[in-house]
Amino acid sequence: MPRKPAATVSPTVSPAASPSPPLAPTGTDLVPVAAEKPDNGAEAHAHHNLDRGLRAALARLTGGVSSHAFLESWADWAFHLSHAPGRQMELAERAQQNALKLMTLAMRGKSDAPPPFAPKPYDHRFHHPGWQSPPFLLWQQGFLAVQDWWDQATDHLRGLRPEDANRARFMARQMLDTVSPSNFPALNPEIIEATLASAGRNLTEGAAHVAQDMVKILTQTHDPAPEGFKVGQDLACTPGTVVFRNALFELIQYAPQTETVQAEPILIVPAWIMKYYILDLSPHNSMVRYLVGQGFTVFVISWCNPTAEQADLSLEDYRTTGVMAALDAVCQIVPDRKVHAVGYCLGGTMLAIAAATMARDGDDRLASVTLMAAQVDFAEAGELLLFVDESQVTFLEDMMWDQGYLDRPQMARTFSTIRSEDLIWSRAVQRYFLGQDDLPTDMGVWVADTTRMPARMHGEYLRGLFLENRLTAGRFAVEGRVIALKGISAPMFVVATETDHIAPWKSVYKTQLFTDCDLTFVLTSGGHNSGIVNEPGNPRSRFRLSHRPHGAFYVGPDDWFATAAPQAGSWWPAWRDWLQGQSSGPGPVPVTGAPDRGLAPLCAAPGTYVFQT
């Protein structure tokens, strides 16, 4: 892949602006490693690599989590609590109150009155009706009472750094989850009921599941897709053609399904943290198929699954050789037309960077910009910030430096621990104690189809965006010049999801704070994936929608939520209407590819990169 010459990165320039110097192990800015000890560079390099190798080994043992960061948070919490006698008295009173509530519950026996403690909304461990009967109810309530006390104990305390308070609460919750009564067969009424009903077969089948999963972990293998969920046949099956390919991505042009199409095509930029076909799942919930059926010409980027040989891919590579190369190809196939650009998750963040760069450089090829569950400001990035500080990022950088990439299972563990009650412990009980197989779903097959993140790109992303939040701080430069989201003049459609723990909706909402263009904002039900893959006809779907004209004053998320009325149904039709409103009207169907411009059809969709493992 062509690369630009090396250039020194100044303290105010984003990592995306410099493709060449190696990442420094410490510090807030990227500098050449040799600058750390110019008087004895060779010796410093050897010692430096020894340190990095040790950290990489430790990172593999801890799943990329820095023990220093969490120990520091515990120490900060304990120190401030030891100097807060008022908070200590408050916690003693809380413990007495919780104990009194438990005693009252035990003395009254079975009652129609609600118990004093309730699980969190995303905690499904105690949904079985057996948990409402003694003695299981008392065990459940005892666990929730302790959980309630720890939530109070790790609440924010004057002088305590908020990130340390949040991290201490997270660690307390992780430790408590290991001793939940739902994890023990003798204390879980659902397991007892299943064991009696099957004469213990559930336990033998669960043991077989344990053995199967251990083999997969040790051999790093994956189960093949179950019958009815084959990629290219059942999933990612919307008809189309690969019309462009480079080392980074394949560009798919989908076959039209209407006699005329909107003149402006759509280019979708998915995240390279996952396979693109989250947006082309089964025929009934494929966003791509829906858009094509509504009369749009749709192009989608299918990213490669990078290997260790591509460890040096940078954020700038993903912008130039990815997004901009795809846009150039689309403009060759559909000439003299602007393009509706759509970005999902990390792909949306990169699209925002590309759009701001285009605005700075006077490139007006975008008819509109749609960002789905994509953050541009990371100050309120939710519980993922628990895993982002200097120590944590250094650990991840060194692990990626050693292996060349960050593997998806390593990322998945982070996402799972944020909702460990449901994503780890509930699944473990169902699979290992109830003997239940995971029911195959299109979303589940996609989640298991893992991808990797290039070492350099991910380090730049963590430092430049997550850790230093440069994009909205006016410190993110592309090609040596700072970009600003306020320069984007194309109308925007921004989608957030209510229960997103990867891109919290209030963080996504802040896109309105850093832009001045005409902007429509949607908050939809569901999570990071289910809220986006939210096809019409889903009876549980709902959304809130508002329009902010160009130059209007900013309204905070809480005030907005209080006034935005919920609407039943999927947000897709509202988006379709908005896209049509930003288009110039229907026209003839474009040809597939542009053979006369070097963009001849290469193969049928879903292409070849989607099958890379």
- Tell me the catalytic residues: 345
Task: Please state, in angstroms and rounded to a whole number, the distance separating the CA atoms of residues 245 and 565.
Answer: 44
Q: Cα separation of 486 and 72, whole Å?
A: 38
Name residue, tokens 């798919």: 252
Enumerate the H helices of 450-509 as residue ranges: 455-460, 505-509
CB atoms within 10 A of CB 583: 22
Q: Can you tell me the distance from the alpha carbon of 105 to that of 253, in angstroms, rounded to the nearest whole number?
A: 63
Exposed, middle or buried by CB within 10 Å (0-12, 13-18, 19+), for 516? middle
Classify 491 in phi/psi space as left (phi over 0), alpha (psi -120 to 50) or beta: beta
Evaluate whether 26 touches 52 at the Cβ level (below 8 Å). Answer: no
Phi, psi of 243, deg, nearest 5: -115, -5
Dist. CA 58–CA 73, nearest whole Å: 19
Distance of alpha carbon 196 from alpha carbon 181, whole angstroms:
19
First CA to last CA distance, the chain: 21
What single-letter amino acid sits at 40? N
In this structure, what token pair is assigned to residue 395?
């650990």
Beta strands in 40-133 (DSSP E): none
Burial of 18 (0-12, 13-18, 19+ CB in 10 A): buried
Q: Could you say which DSSP state residue 262 is in?
A: E
Distance, C-alpha 502 to centroid of its chain: 4
| 354 alpha carbon, distance to own chain's centre | 20
The burial class, CB within 10 Å (0-12 / 13-18 / 19+), for 279 is: buried
Those residues whose C-beta lies under 8 Å from the C-beta of residue 335, and which sit 6 or more positions away, are: none
- CB count within 10 Å of CB 319 equals 19
Q: In what order do the strands lie in the sheet with 519-524?
A: 567-568, 542-548, 519-524, 492-497, 366-372, 339-344, 266-269, 298-303, 249-254, 240-245, 603-604
Please state the φ and ψ torsions of residue 250, each to the nearest 5 degrees. Answer: -110, 145
The backbone torsions φ and ψ at residue 302, rounded to the nearest 5 degrees and listed phi first, read -110, 105
